[in-house]
Amino acid sequence: MFWSSRHPSALTLILAAVPFVSLTAVVAKGAVQGEAPVVQRVVRALPLVAVVLFLAIAWQPLLNNVRLVYLADHLGVHTTLCWLFARTLLPGRTPLCTEFASWVHEDMTPQLLWYTRQVTKAWALFFGLIVLTSIVLFALAEFTTWIAFSTMVGPALTACFFLIENLCRSRFLPPKDRVGLAGTWRAVQARTQSKAPTPSKVRHEC
């Protein structure tokens, strides 16, 4: 990304557009494979059509402003992550980190419920600050500074935040409420496998 953003070309624009096309393609694929009414499936496929048409119509202006496409990529990803965490903090919803913890712990203690809610808040705030910082740097700093932040500093901060959160568990949670990374990974794998359709179900749905 660092090199391509400084050398705009048709290839760099294609690379910058890949996240948008991929995301809308996933949504469209789910619409085609689902059992929703035809009208609803068409509506779900419209974002992919809109993105492709937009790229075709605005190709040259976008080629002259590839930096804005990269900014949209960066803001889109982190705004989505902020929204995914923040929306689960609304009344009547289960905080996202609480949901993840329930995959690992059969007994959710009050202390664990409190902690996972605070962690959900922290992640939402973290991604929100990443978005804000990205906008400020893009508007006020050199483009190379923004590229360094979006490609190196931002990911490094995310990794550090994740490690710090793991360390905080030992301070705020008793041993029975802690699960290591290996245990968490095994729980996620088990959860994913339990959600996967069985072969007989797949045949029936087909």
Tell me the pLDDT tens digit for each residue of 171-197: 887 777 666 555 555 655 655 666 544
- 8-33 pLDDT, tens digit per residue, is 566 666 767 777 677 677 766 765 56
pLDDT above 70 coverage of the chain, percent: 69
For residue 13, give the H/E element and its range. helix 10-33
| Residue of 170 and 117 predicted with greater confidence | 117
Tell me, what's the pLDDT at 166? 83
The answer on pLDDT for 126 being more than 90 is: yes
C-alpha 62/C-alpha 206 separation (Å) is: 41
List the one residue out of 9, 1, 6, 13 whose CA is nearest residue 55. 13
For 130, other C-beta atoms within 10 Å of its C-beta total 24
Spatial contact of 128 and 69, defined as CB atoms under 8 Å apart = no
Packed helices 10-33 and 38-57: angle between N→C axes, nearest 10 degrees:
170
Tell me, what's the pLDDT at 178? 67
In the numeric block, which tokens belong to residue 180? 């290591």
